[in-house]
Chain A
Amino acid sequence: GAVVSQHPSRVICKSGTSVKIECRSLDFQATTMFWYRQFPKKSLMLMATSNEGSKATYEQGVEKDKFLINHASLTLSTLTVTSAHPEDSSFYICSARAGTGTGEQFFGPGTRLTVL
């Protein structure tokens, strides 16, 4: 199947700093990428949907100014957690979909963010 990578796999930062997480589709062009957040023992919660070349669509309750998403190319989307605080500590997972509508989502391995 298609491969999606995330970088970094793990990051620790100080409160107040910003952290950028990259999501790349390695062997296909991703028209759409999704960003999820996963809490311990909880399900994945969709944060936002990004389409290449346009603004991301955020889910209700997700602060767009805090979680900046950029989908500048068909193989790369970035999530920037701005002014991170300890409550932002979580596991962030991206997925990518080729084409439109009926395509399967392929998931990255996730990024563990710890904010001290």
Chain B
Amino acid sequence: GDSVTQMEGPVTLSEEAFLTINCTYTATGYPSLFWYVQYPGEGLQLLLKATKADDKGSNKGFEATYRKETTSFHLEKGSVQVSDSAVYFCALTINQGGKLIFGQGTELSVKP
């Protein structure tokens, strides 16, 4: 079945460090891919998305490229801030706006 696998956390970085959170997927069709972020005490928020191969989603300095050949959608940011501390979820849907399948989440902690 369809699934999403993320690197395990927690990930601890110093402010201004480079961030990569790996995400790979298995899907029978042509999924749309998403990154959601959950700040402490809040609901999930859509961070970025990509709907077809080679698309790059970007928002707030975060980027992820839909790589069909490696079935990956790794999240990157060049310089993290303390305010980026949160849990990040990679997800896919086969039908856009339909059922979301989530990875297990990766906790990021950024220290000043």
Contact = CB atoms under 8 A, between A and B. Distances in A.
Interface of A: 1, 4, 6, 34, 41-46, 49, 93, 95, 97, 100-110
Interface in B69-112: 89, 95-105
28 contacts: A4-B43, A34-B99, A34-B100, A41-B104, A42-B105, A43-B103, A43-B104, A43-B105, A44-B44, A44-B89, A46-B100, A46-B101, A93-B44, A95-B100, A97-B97, A101-B95, A102-B96, A102-B97, A103-B97, A104-B97, A105-B46, A105-B97, A107-B43, A107-B44, A107-B45, A109-B42, A109-B43, A110-B43
B78 to A, nearest CB: 25
What are the 7 closest A-B residue pairs judged by CB atoms, nearest first?
A107-B43, A107-B44, A43-B102, A43-B104, A109-B43, A102-B97, A44-B102
Contact of A43 (B42, B43, B89, B98): B89
Chain B, interface SS category: loop
